[in-house]
A and B are shown apart, each in its own frame.
Chain A
Amino acid sequence: MRTADPVATVVGFARTLRFAGVEVTTDRIQCMVAALDQLGVARAEDVYWAGRLTLCSGPDDIRRFDQAFAAYFHGERPALPRIPIKAAAAMTLDPARQDSAADADDARSAVAVSASDREVLRHRDVALLTRAERDEVRRLIALLDPVGPSRRSRRFAAAHRGPIDAHRTVRHLLRGGGEPARLLRHARRRRPRRLVLLIDVSGSMEPYADALLRFAHAAAHRRGGTEVFTIGTRLTRISRELRRRDADPALAAVARAVPDWSGGTRLGELLRAFLDRWGQRGVARGAVVVLASDGWERGDPRVLADQMARLHRLAHRVVWVNPHRGRPGFAPLTAGMAAALPHVDEFVSGHSLAAYEELAVVLAGRERPKRV
C-alpha cells in the first residue's frame, strides 16, 4: 500500500473503480475494509481478493476491477476503451443537444402539432421528421403499450374454479372450528412472457435508433423483466440504464453506456455472443425476442442463419423489425436479411409511428402455434 492509512487507500481505489464503471456503494467500501481487517494488507494478493470479492457483482465488473486494480496499485495504464467521439453529435438522444441544422430550416418548430397533423405524422418516416414532429412522435411512442402474450405461471392464485386449494380450505375450516365448509379453489396465474429487444445501432440504422430505444424504454416500463441490448460492433446490455423512469435521462445514460454508435454490424457474431452469454441460459427461453436491424451484415451470413435458427429454437416468437421495409419497393435483398428470414415469425417495419403501433399490436398479439 502506498499510504499508511488503508481506509484512505481503499476509498481512493473505490473512486478509481467507480470511474471505471463499477457501481461502488459506501457499504461495499466498508465491506472491503472489513475484509482487509481479516486478511491484512501485507500481501498484494490478499488486497486484490479482498477488493474483488466485496466490490464486484458480476463477471463484467471483474474485468474492470482488474484494470482499475492494476492502474491504482501498480501504476499501469489500462488500454483505453475506444471513446465514442461521434456519439454525442450523431445521436439525438439528448434533447439539450438537438442538431441545430434541422432547427434552422424548421420555422414552425414552435407551433404545436394539431390533431389532423397527427394522423399524417403517424405515417411519416421518423428519419425525415422536423424537431417539433420528432418531439410529438417521441411523446406518442412513450404511450405505446406493448404488453405481450402470457404464459401459465407456476404460482397459484385464488379463483372460482380450478383445483381445490387445500391450504385455504383447511384454514377456512379451522376458523369455523373444524366444521366442514365450502371448498375453496385456486388456479394457475398467468404471467406475461419476457420481452427481449436487440437493437442495431450501426451507422445504417442511426436515424431509427432514437425511436427504437424509446420504444424499448416504453416496453421496459410496461413489462417487468424486459431485457434490452444494443448490437453494432459489440453487444451491450442496456436494461439497467433503461430502468430510469423518464425517457430522456434513460437515453442519455444509454448513450454513455454504448461504445459503438454508428459503426458497422457483425450481426451473426453478436447474436452468437448474446445467445452464449444470455439467451441460452434463460433470457431468450420462452421469450418474445425482437430484433431491430436492417440486416446489413459485414460478417458471414451463414453464421447469422445458424444463430437465427438457434434463437428460433429457444424463443417463443422471433420478431424482426426492419425500418427499411416501410420504403416503397423494398425487397429483403441484403444477405443478412435473406439468411435470417426463414427463422423469423413476424417481419414488420419500424420506420413510422404507425409501424411502432403495429409492432406493439404484434407483440401483444394472440398466442399462435409456433412454426416448426
Chain B
Amino acid sequence: MGERVRNVDSPGGLAERLDATGYLVDTGLATAVFLALRMGRPLFLEGEAGVGKTALAHALATLLDVPLIRLQCYEGIEASQALYDWDFPRQLLHLRAAEASGRYDAEQLESELYDRRFLLARPLLQAIETGDAVLLVDEVDRADDEFEAFLLEVLSEFTISIPEIGTVRADTPPVVVVTSNRTREVHDALKRRCIYHWLDHPEHDREVAIIRCRLPEASERLAAGIASAVRRLRGQDLLKPPGVAESLDWARALLELGVHEFDPDAAAASLGAVLKYHEDAERVRANGFGGG
C-alpha cells in the first residue's frame, strides 16, 4: 500500500480519485486525507451525525483497494473485544483430545495450547496483522475513557504485545480513520496524534452533486429542490437538523413515491425521512418549507 499512497501526489489528485469512488470531497477534506496518508497519522473526523464520516472510510478502502476493518465503539468495550481473545472452547477441546490420545508431554502441550491458531484476532489486531487495510474506529466518543487511553497506545505504536506469543508489529501501518459524533469531548492526547477535521454540511452545489452521484435516477431539478429544502431546514433551528444521509433518504423516498420534481405536498408527506422528532415535523408543517 505504501506504493499506492505514494501515487497520490496532491490533494487535488486525491480529490479526483475519491470522486471516482462516488464520494465527493471539498478542498479541506481532500487535504486532510492527503496529509493523513502521507504523514502516516490517523484521521480524526468529527461532525454532526449523517455528514459522511463513516462513508469516507469506505470510500478510502475502495480507492486504495484494501479491506475495511471496522471497530464499532460502545460503552464498556473491552480489550478482549477490540484486540484479541483466546478461543477457550477450542483450547479445552484440544486439551481433552490430547489427554484421550494419551500424550502427556506438558511442555509441548502448553506451547500447542497457546498457538496462533487458538488466537481470535479482533479488529485492532486484524488491522495490524493485515497492514494493508483501512481501520475504521467508529464513534470513539461512545467508548469510555479507559478505552481511549488503550486505543492511544495501540495507535501510536502499531504494535500489540501478547504475553503468550510475543509482539505483533505492523509492517505497513494501516490507514486509520477515527470518527466521533461529539457526544462527549474526546481527550486531547488522542486528538494530538491525529489530523483533525471538522466535517460540516456540504454547500448547496456539492449536495446536489452528491445526491445525483449516489442516486443517478434523481433528476437535476429534484436534487436541487431537495438540497435547497434541506438547507432551509438546517437554518430553522430544529432539534436535529438533517444531514447528507437524510437528504439521500429523502431523495430515495420521493423517488419511491414516483416524484421527479420537488413538490411541497409530496415533500410534506415524506417528511419522516428527514425529520426524526415530532416537534421538528410539527414546526416545519406549520411554517412550510419556504420559511427561514
Interface pick from A43-51, A141-149, A292-300, A349-357: A43-51
Given A153-B76, A178-B96, 20 further pairs, Cβ under 8 A: A31-B41, A34-B39, A38-B35, A39-B31, A39-B34, A39-B35, A46-B31, A49-B28, A49-B32, A53-B32, A53-B35, A54-B195, A57-B192, A58-B185, A59-B198, A167-B80, A174-B88, A178-B95, A178-B99, A282-B184
Which residue of B is nearest A27, CB measured? B192
Q: How far is the CA of A166 from the CA of B92 in the complex (A)?
A: 13
The number of inter-chain residue pairs (CB within 8 angstroms) is 95
**Nearest-CB distance from B26 to chain A (Å)?**
10
Q: Is B182 an interface residue (CB 8 A)?
A: yes
B184 near A174 with CB under 8 A, answer no
Q: Which A residues touch B240, using CB under 8 A? A: 280
Q: Which A residues touch B91, using CB under 8 A? A: 170, 174
Contacting residues of chain B (54-95) with chain A, CB-CB under 8 angstroms: 74-76, 78, 80, 88-89, 91-92, 95
Q: How far is the CA of A57 from the CA of B89 in the complex (A)?
A: 44
Q: Which A residues touch B89, using CB under 8 A? A: 170
Q: Which B residues touch A50, using CB under 8 A? A: 31, 35
**Nearest-CB distance from B43 to chain A (Å)?**
9
Contacting residues of chain A (176-211) with chain B, CB-CB under 8 angstroms: 177-178
Q: Is A341 an interface residue (CB 8 A)?
A: no
Q: Which A residues touch B192, using CB under 8 A? A: 25, 27-28, 57
Known A38-B34, A170-B88, A173-B92; contact A45-B27, beta-carbon cutoff 8 A: yes
Q: Is A56 an interface residue (CB 8 A)?
A: yes
Q: Which A residues touch B78, using CB under 8 A? A: 155
- The residue among A58, A153, A167, A285 with the most chain B CB atoms within 10 A of its own CB is A58
Contacting residues of chain A (9-62) with chain B, CB-CB under 8 angstroms: 23, 25, 27-28, 31, 34-35, 38-39, 45-46, 49-50, 52-54, 56-59, 62
**Nearest-CB distance from B156 to chain A (Å)?**
11
Q: Is A77 an interface residue (CB 8 A)?
A: no
Q: Is B159 an interface residue (CB 8 A)?
A: no
Q: Which B residues touch A170, using CB under 8 A? A: 88-89, 91-92
A174 near B35 with CB under 8 A, answer no
Contacting residues of chain A (332-370) with chain B, CB-CB under 8 angstroms: none
A281 near B181 with CB under 8 A, answer yes
Q: Which B residues touch A281, using CB under 8 A? A: 181-184
**Nearest-CB distance from B275 to chain A (Å)?**
14
Could you jot down 28 A-B contacts, CB within 8 Å?
A23-B188, A31-B39, A38-B34, A38-B35, A39-B34, A39-B35, A45-B27, A54-B195, A57-B191, A57-B196, A58-B46, A59-B198, A153-B76, A154-B74, A155-B76, A155-B78, A167-B80, A167-B88, A170-B92, A174-B92, A174-B113, A178-B92, A280-B240, A281-B181, A281-B182, A281-B183, A283-B184, A310-B239
How many residues in B have their beta carbons less than 8 Å from beta carbons of A? 40
Contacting residues of chain B (14-51) with chain A, CB-CB under 8 angstroms: 27-28, 31-32, 34-35, 38-39, 41, 46
Q: Is A108 an interface residue (CB 8 A)?
A: no
Q: Say whether chain B's binding surface is mostly helix, strand, loop, or mixed.
A: helix
Please list the 8 inter-chain residue pairs (A to B) with the smallest Cβ-Cβ separation, ordered nearest first. A154-B76, A282-B183, A170-B88, A49-B31, A178-B95, A155-B76, A57-B191, A281-B183
Q: Is A171 an interface residue (CB 8 A)?
A: yes
B39 near A177 with CB under 8 A, answer no
Known A170-B89, A173-B92, A178-B95; contact A53-B76, beta-carbon cutoff 8 A: no
B196 near A54 with CB under 8 A, answer yes
Q: Is B141 an interface residue (CB 8 A)?
A: yes
Q: Is B260 an interface residue (CB 8 A)?
A: no
Q: Which A residues touch B46, using CB under 8 A? A: 58-59
Known A25-B192, A38-B35, A45-B27; contact A53-B80, beta-carbon cutoff 8 A: no
**Nearest-CB distance from A129 to chain B (Å)?**
35
**Nearest-CB distance from A187 to chain B (Å)?**
13
Query: Which chain B residues have a beta carbon within 8 Å of chain A's beta carbons?
Result: 11, 27-28, 31-32, 34-35, 38-39, 41, 46, 74-76, 78, 80, 88-89, 91-92, 95-96, 99, 113, 141, 145, 181-185, 188, 191-192, 195-198, 239-240
**Nearest-CB distance from A192 to chain B (Å)?**
13
Q: Which A residues touch B96, using CB under 8 A? A: 178
**Chain A window 146-164, contacts with chain B (Cβ cutoff 8 Å), 1 for yes, 0 for no:** 0000000111000000000
Q: Which B residues touch A62, using CB under 8 A? A: 198
**Nearest-CB distance from A159 to chain B (Å)?**
16
Q: Which A residues touch B141, using CB under 8 A? A: 282
Q: How far is the CA of A159 from the CA of B27 in the complex (A)?
A: 54
Q: How far is the CA of A203 from the CA of B104 in the complex (A)?
A: 82
- The residue among A35, A53, A154, A224 with the most chain B CB atoms within 10 A of its own CB is A53
A38 near B38 with CB under 8 A, answer yes
Known A49-B27, A53-B31; contact A166-B88, beta-carbon cutoff 8 A: yes
**Nearest-CB distance from B284 to chain A (Å)?**
16
Q: How far is the CA of A77 from the CA of B28 in the complex (A)?
A: 24
Q: Which B residues touch A276, using CB under 8 A? A: 239
**Nearest-CB distance from A278 to chain B (Å)?**
9
Q: Which A residues touch B145, using CB under 8 A? A: 224-225
Q: How far is the CA of A340 from the CA of B83 in the complex (A)?
A: 48
Q: Which B residues touch A177, using CB under 8 A? A: 95
**Nearest-CB distance from B104 to chain A (Å)?**
10
- The residue among A27, A173, A281 with the most chain B CB atoms within 10 A of its own CB is A281
A283 near B88 with CB under 8 A, answer no
Q: How far is the CA of A166 from the CA of B192 in the complex (A)?
A: 38
Q: How far is the CA of A296 from the CA of B154 in the complex (A)?
A: 51
Which residue of A is nearest B190, CB measured? A57
Q: How far is the CA of A173 from the CA of B94 in the complex (A)?
A: 13
Q: Which B residues touch A54, using CB under 8 A? A: 35, 195-196
